[in-house]
A and B are shown apart, each in its own frame.
Chain A
Amino acid sequence: MEGSPNIQMVTALRQAAQGDSQAFESLVRHHQTMVFSIAFHFLRNRMQAEDVAQDVFLELFQRLRQIQSPAHLTFWLRRVTVNRCIDQTRRRKPETALEDVSEPRAAVVSGDPLLSERLQQSVAALPDRKRAVVILRFQEGLDLAEIAEVLEMPLNTVKSTLQRSLLELRKKLTRKLGEVRYAIF
């Protein structure tokens, strides 16, 4: 495909809606990292995250005609992924998969890996809505208004939820690292 990425996406979207499977596959490849990452950070389980991501793309395939633009597609994927993750966590108990012990594709780790691991664990332990807000804010880099739109929450609620979530994360992290220090010394 030629042209700017946005034009490519518009074309792919139109062709996919007309039944072009290659165009649909290009949409999947373009958005798979985003969808999978939201699910993975939400569920902290690669297998469940891939299941959810597959289901999201399957639903997209069935509703392609409702998608109006690439921006709408990204918005729709984020909303559906978060909603499916929330459903998933309500249906199932959290499981620790063997794959979560080490992340094969995350070989390049900048910063403090211990801190990153603790942060991921603490985010995954947040209640559903708080977790969704934190992931959309810090993984997807959405601003508060965009998060409010995706999660269908009032803007002020998103603001307060984010503040409370960060406070909770700091408390949890201090407690966890305190326990580590206590165990070491």
Chain B
Amino acid sequence: MPFSEDDLREALRRKEPSAGFAAKVMARVSQPPGEQARRGVLPMRRLMVVRWAAAAALAASLIAAVGLQQYRHRQEQVRAERAQRQAILALQITTEKLDHIFHRTSRISVPAPVRDNGDNNKERL
């Protein structure tokens, strides 16, 4: 669609600033020079600082959360390893006890069974 120079003038016609614009300027002008600069150029920079601080805080909390998660995971691992070692020790102790019982029982001699060949019955008759 072609446009004329009048269209461009219309599109770029002047616009009013917000209602309190002049008052804001006068408020800044009445401040000491250091304050003027701080309120003038720096609001955007302050905004940037706030954004960076928020991003840093978010990153720090993420790192802390991940660290805490890893710490808990590690603690669980340690507990599991300790339980595993205790279980192995318990099995070893049980095995030793069983060995000991086995040796003791094998040392006890069992008497040979009495054979009945019928002589005793003859004497009785």
Contacts and interface: CB of A to CB of B under 8 A. Distances in A.
Same complex origin of A and B:
yes
Interface of A: 21, 24-25, 28-29, 32-34, 36-37, 40-41, 46, 48-51, 53-55, 57-58, 61, 92, 103, 105-106, 110-112, 115-117, 119-120, 123, 134-135, 138-139, 141, 169-170, 173-174, 177
A33 B15 CA distance: 6
Which has the most chain A C-beta neighbours within 10 Å: B2, B21, B36, B44? B21
A128 B43 CA distance: 24
A112 B10 CA distance: 9
A36 B114 CA distance: 126
Nearest to B18: A50
B29 A24 contact: yes
Nearest to B31: A58
A36 B7 contact: no
A58 B7 contact: no
A37, A51, A58, A110 — most chain B CB neighbours (10 Å): A58
B21 A50 contact: yes
A33 B14 contact: yes
A46 B15 CA distance: 10
Interface of A is mostly: helix
B16 A54 contact: no
A36 B26 contact: no
B21 A138 contact: no
B110 interface: no
Q: Chain B binding site: helix, strand, loop or mixed by DSSP?
A: helix
Interface residues of B, number: 30
Question: What 4 pairs between A and B have smallest CB-CB spacing?
Answer: A119-B11, A36-B17, A37-B14, A139-B12
B29 A61 contact: yes
Given A36-B17, A103-B15, A106-B15, A54 B7 contact: no
B16 A33 contact: yes
Contacts of B28: 54, 58
A32 B3 contact: no
B13 interface: yes
Given A61-B29, A111-B10, A123-B11, A28 B22 contact: yes
Contact of B29 (A21, A29, A138): A21
Contacts of A115: 1, 3, 7, 11
Interface in B15-52: 15-18, 21-22, 24-26, 28-30, 36, 40-41, 43-44
Contacts of A21: 26, 29-30
A51 B40 contact: yes
A98 B30 CA distance: 31
B14 A173 contact: no
